[in-house]
Structure 1
């Protein structure tokens, strides 16, 4: 893994996403995290300007791109045109592209004379954009956009389940569409699998194994975006959705079983009546 040497990465100057360091102002960069699809295939993506391998990070003009295999790209210090060009170049490597690209934005300010911190307005202030520090910031932004996306997805699932549960509570009437309930269960399982199996929201980036001095920056980013709290709340919501959907599915199955039993009893009664009819018919003839 590349060493965290500030000399390896010069501060972007003159970039449209960077404020001019004039009149005592500090350089500021725009960082945007994009959800591009289910996965980004980074295997074999060889570049001469790579600054980190896992996740893959490299220079793009005067800015940077950090790619995460779970389908997120974090672009820092790029103009809108450069962002579009970078995303277009990644499209052949995107597995199951998103129908609509979602993004979250943050501002990074370079403050060489201060410790890494996050001000009340949400601006991320760092000493420099050395490789390890860049990866720590990108990791938090990537997890933030994934959580935001999954929170919206779970809210949509709630919009499906809640009216069904309300109908059951009000009139005791169970829904009849079992396939819809199974889809809800499947969606909740997919959200859980994505968060725990791919994104690993509560896991620290690998770069911190070598750079323990960046633990404080990582902790501040986790607190700023409330990653652990949101992940825990999302897990509880997924549990509620799954339990509700399974309960409704069980009720649908029970109702179907009852109707089937009634049909079987009715057939038995008809068969008995027919047997008696044949018996008395032969008896009277």
Structure 2
């Protein structure tokens, strides 16, 4: 009976896979959606361990690391190597974004849930697609926490409006807007939630398996929720910005009127005197 255990972490917003491949003299250029797989001697050299048995490591551009039959301490060593060689900027709370999945080969009909897939025959694409799904799921978890933090900032804008405080520095508003755009860019361009792996277009069974995992891990639904929250945040910031600029315009108009009035008074005084 074949058994595989996958463990995933989101350790960074981006990992420079091509620089990593170059450091191990891997003659290949990796695209955004393609993970790098380390195993055998390359993995031994990275981990500085005598044996890694059947273990493998998947690293994704969008900052996720997935271990296949690996040990938890491998992640610490991989992160240390990535940080030492400036291949990524590690998240302080990366241990929080973690998930696991198991693949077991058993007779009978295939069954999948959120923790294990029981398959009558495990193919390489089952492992690859499970790793991709886990990698996207933990990256989404990172973005879900990020959007909650941005929402907390936006809540302060609503409170300011409720208290009649409509003025704020453009720099601070710009920082909030940038955090919203960064969140959306990370979700769409980096994590590629809505993109399907290439193998799903050529192997129907692979497509069915990936679709099943995507539903189990609610990738599309979670992405839609993030998108709705992002739209809400954008509307809040745009509304506050409009009020902020309107207040400034009103103040400028008042200042101009005062200056005109002063100028008229001075002219009258000059005529009288």
C-alpha distance in 1 between matches for 2:237 and 2:179: 11
Give yes or no for contact 2:37–2:57 (8 Å, CA) kept in 1: yes
Residue by residue over 1:162-213, the C-alpha shift from the partner in whole angstroms, topping out at 9 and shown as x without a partner, is: 2321442x34442423322221111111111122222210111122233321
State the TM-score, normalized to the length of structure 1. Answer: 0.79
Higher helix share: 2
Once residues 232 and 151 of structure 2 are traced to their aligned partners in structure 1, the CA distance between those partners, rounded to angstroms, is: 9
Q: Distance in 2 between matches of 1:237 and 1:151?
A: 10
Following superposition, the deviation at residue 30 of structure 1 comes to: 4.5
Aligned residue for 2:91, secondary structure, equals strand
Q: Which residue of 1 aligns with 2:131?
A: 138
Mark the runs of 5 or more structure 1 residues left unpaired by the alignment.
1-9, 12-26
Is the Cα contact below 8 Å between 1:57 and 1:64 reproduced in 2?
Answer: yes
TM-score normalized by structure 2? 0.82
**Is there any run of 5+ residues in structure 2 with no aligned partner, and where?**
28-32, 44-51
Is 1:160 matched up with 2:140?
A: no
Q: Does 1:35 align with 2:11?
A: yes
What is residue 103 of structure 2 aligned with on the other side?
A: 109
Deviations, residues 115-150 of structure 1 (Å, cap 9, x unaligned): 54323x632334566432221011111111111111
Q: In 2, distance between residues paired with 1:142 and 1:75?
A: 10
Deviates more, 1:194-203 or 1:208-217: 208-217
Contact 1:132 1:211 in 2 (8 A): no
User: What is the aligned counterpart of 2:144 among 143, 151, 157?
Assistant: 151
**TM-aligned CA deviation for residue 227 of structure 1:** 0.4
Does 2:37 correspond to 1:57?
yes
Once the 2 structures are TM-superposed, how far is the Cα of residue 79 of structure 1 from its aligned partner?
1.3
What number of residue pairs does the alignment pair up?
251
Cα distance change of structure 1 residues 71 and 28 upon mapping to structure 2, 3 Å threshold: closer
**Bigger shift: 60-69 or 124-133?**
124-133
